[in-house]
């Protein structure tokens, strides 16, 4: 996300930063409010308003784990996410 805004100085970095702060606050206060990502049961995708980016995250009992800041313009990385989740299976197990 940062690189995209550096390469395109016409984009409003101040507005994007404010939107990211709002997204982080919303996720922290309402972790289940974002829709599920693809077919992943625990992974949520929160679209950052006014940008082409979304936060992929998992909410555990005591923390929010940001997995990726995803470019929503078709540059999906579902296979990489599946690999990440396979390696972290114990972290996401139901308690």
pLDDT tens digit string along 59-93?
998 999 998 888 887 655 566 666 666 766 655 55
How many of the other CB atoms lie within 10 Å of CB of 75? Answer: 8
Owning domain of residue 76: 2-92
Query: How many residues comprise the chain?
Result: 95
Predicted local distance difference test score (pLDDT) of residue 95: 43
Residues 6 or more apart whose CB falls under 8 angstroms from that of 24 comprise: 55
Our count of domains for the chain comes to 1
CATH number, domain of 37, equals 3.30.2310
User: 8-66, pLDDT tens digit by residue?
Assistant: 777 888 888 899 999 999 999 999 999 999 888 899 999 999 888 899 999 998 999 99
pTM score of the predicted model = 0.71
């Amino acid at each position: 996300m940062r690189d995209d805004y550096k390469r395109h100085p016409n984009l409003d970095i101040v507005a994007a930063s404010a939107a990211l702060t709002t997204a982080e606050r919303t996720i922290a206060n309402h972790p289940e409010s974002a829709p599920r990502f693809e077919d992943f049961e625990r992974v949520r995708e929160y679209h950052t308003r006014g940008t082409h980016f979304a936060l992929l995250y998992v909410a555990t009992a005591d923390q929010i784990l940001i997995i990726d800041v995803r470019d929503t313009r078709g540059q999906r990385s579902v296979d990489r996410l599946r690999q990440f989740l396979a390696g972290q299976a114990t972290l996401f197990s139901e308690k």
